Amino acid sequence: MHESLLRLLVCPDSGSPLQLEDAVCDARGDIERGRLVSANGSVYPIRDGIPHFVDGDGYVSTFSLQRRCMGSRFAPWQDEPDRDQLFERSTGLVLQTQRGALVLDAGCGYGRFLEPVANAGATVVGIDLSADSILLARRFLGNRESVHLVRGDLMRPPFPPAMFDAVYSIGVLQYTPSTRDAFLSLTRFVKPGGPLSIRVYAPQDKKSDDRWRRVTVHLPASAVMVTGLARHVVGEGVRRLLGRTNVAVRHQFWPRVMSQFNSLAPPYASSHTFEEVEQWFEQAGFVDVQRLPRRIAVTGRRPLV
């Protein structure tokens, strides 16, 4: 944990400042272990260089299992030559304009979109509930001074209000118990005039998954993994017969099986329309609400007053 992260953190329950105690630093001076203590007596441990504001994985335990199965030998985004363009289409944020900005990645996972934001010259904070996800993000990106990582709950993030110049969440909020409530939680943390962008799943893209999930959410993880493997193998076989496969897809066999697992295993996986998400922004008082060129991705700005 970089020491500069301390000024960005508060107690998620009381909003009070946090005091660093019992810090143990590595050779670079980054905080490897210790604890953060609030005025009301709440204590949050720092382990493996990451401050932890939650005790367990809760409803994202399947994502932690998926990360462990993926392993840490490679960054899954290394085969994504269009990642920067995908980020911009999902958020409406132009990377070239983010230099010097303080940005929040709400549900950063293993760090897929942290890197392009940091490369653009911004300071980016990634928060995720999954212990294994945030550890992978640290393994891939933790040595960068402009990347901060926090394990916490999007419903009660450990940040002061109106802290960030921009906030985004890509493909995450639909996995919470309430996508709308998670969105409303994030609205507090963007500065007046700053953009908030989210991307969630579209109902038409999840019809097959929703049918399968009626069964798979009740199965043990090992059975869901086998189901995901079977779906991928059968689907790839059909695509080959139709001439719709390519070499790049064949080289992503295991990541795509893990993607199938992600679709079938989580206890929550909702989908939403453009109209529904736009309504959330408008009800929160956001202005300049726009659909983005990726479904279902919407952006808006917090009003100046």
Assess if residue 216 is contained within a domain.
yes
Asked if the structure places residue 9 within a domain, the reply is yes
Residue 64 in domain:
no
The rounded distance, in Å, linking the Cα atoms of 296 and 203 is 9
Within 13 Å of residue 170, how many CA atoms lie on the same side as its CB? 21
Residue 170: domain span = 70-202+270-301
Both 182 and 295 in one domain: the answer is yes
Q: How confident is residue 248, by pLDDT bands cut at 50, 70 and 90?
A: very low
CA angle 134, 112, 76 (to 5 degrees): 95
Instruction: Determine, yes or no, domain membership for 61.
Output: no
Q: Is there a single domain that holds both residue 180 and residue 196? A: yes
- Which DSSP string corresponds to 133-148? HHHHHHHHHTT-TTEE
156 and 211 together in one domain = no
Domain count along the chain: 3
Q: Is residue 113 included in any domain, yes or no?
A: yes
Give the model confidence (pLDDT) of 264-285 as tens digits. 889 999 999 999 999 999 999 9
pLDDT tens per residue, range 64-110? 887 777 665 556 556 677 899 999 999 999 999 999 999 999 999 98
- Does the residue 57 lie in any domain? no
Looking at the fold, whether 90 and 193 belong to one and the same domain comes out as yes
- Report the C-alpha gap between 172 and 153 in whole angstroms: 12
**Residue 65, domain member (yes or no):** no
Pair 130, 214 in one domain:
no
Specify if 62 maps to a domain: no
Distance of CA 54 to the CA centre of its chain: 16
pLDDT at position 57 is 87
CA distance 110 to 272: 24
Same domain, 80 and 158: yes
Same domain, 236 and 279: no
What DSSP line would sit under 224-258, residue for residue?
HHHHHHHHHHHHHHHHHHTT---HHHHTTHHHHHH
42-52 burial, b at 16+ Cβ within 10 Å, e below that, comes to eebebebbbbb
E strand or H helix that includes residue 166: strand 166-170
Q: Do 109 and 245 lie in a common domain?
A: no
pTM of the model: 0.90
Mark whether 74 and 151 lie in a shared domain: yes
Same domain, 173 and 278: yes
Distances (CA, A) of 253 to 249, 250, 263: 7, 6, 16
Identify whether residues 121 and 230 lie together within a single domain: no
Do 70 and 255 form a contact (C-beta atoms < 8 A)?
A: yes
User: 94 with 168, same domain?
Assistant: yes
pLDDT at 180: 98
pLDDT tens string 168-211: 999 999 999 999 999 999 999 999 999 999 999 999 999 988 99
Q: Tell me the CATH number at 288.
A: 3.40.50.150
